[in-house]
Amino acid sequence: MKKNSITIKAYAKLNLILQIVGKRADGYHLLNSFMQSIDLYDTITVKKKKTLNSQIIIKTEYSKKLLPYITDEFNAPEDVEKNICGKVAKKIMSINNIKNDIEIKIFKRIPIGAGLGGGSSDGAAAANAINELFDLNHTKQQLCNIVKDIGADIPFNIYCGSAIVQGIGEKIKLIDAEFLKDYKFILIYPNIHSSTVEVYRNFKKRLTDTADYVKLLLKNNKNDIESYLVNDLSETVYCLYGKIKIVKEKIENSINKKIFMSGSGSTLFLIFNDAQLMNKTYKLLVKKLSDCLILKTAPLIKKYKGEFYED
């Protein structure tokens, strides 16, 4: 009996490394990034209906932890034209001439505008779900090519796991990051929506450090990996959004740990390979940063055999 619905996890990601290595003539910045899926996830349920109007209905719910951070301005819209899942569904259904109406339920746990790729991950999960539900048999690379113009991070999230991401996000080399299996993360979302467009617009490259930190990390991951985690956008974000810098300074004044930022912000994160220290730090940060969302998570480790996606 064929399924009428399918539910898929849409995993958040961290940029463990994000270097800006150049800029194209059209204004797009060139990246050298290590992207890592984590076990914080939204759930996407796609339901196939019997009615044949090619209509897409989107319904959104939020976890109890995330709900206090949702506003009229910053949320996951239920408008098909504005929601990334709606855009993805519309394109895939059009290409494959799908006439059934569908309902997409999004249960959100990933903060919005946080540099965790929640929207892109939701879109990728919707693509994978529709592909399976309607037996379209698109390969992951074919799905990436269909939806890549909707969001630069969607191709990575269609695969998810660990990857070196370069170009403007279109070059993805999937890797085995087994060295991360003993590490855990604490995420600090400071209840600020960071605009990716504004961050990149205000970014000014400093050419003093030309090291390839992705290569260095992969070569030296038996040692202290914190030494190789960098984000070239962090100083720009701290200048644009003073509250994020204040939160960072509060953390620095409370614990002796390096603090990192994912993507174009606003989420900060700490990395641990000591569970006892992580739990102690988590309890401290929950008390110190009462206006922030504090989450514990871990890397999602997948094994790959040289898979590679490039537009």
The catalytic site residues sit at 13, 153
Q: Are 60 and 78 in contact (CB under 8 A)?
A: yes
Find the DSSP H helices in 36-139: 84-95, 118-133
CB 308 within 8 A of CB 269: no
Where are the strands (E) in the chain, listed by range? Answer: 5-23, 29-48, 56-62, 102-108, 162-167, 171-174, 184-189, 260-261, 268-272, 293-297, 308-310
Name, in order, each residue with C-beta under 8 angstroms of 123's C-beta and a sequence gap of 6 or more: 84, 85, 87, 88, 147, 150, 151, 154, 157
N residues, the chain: 311
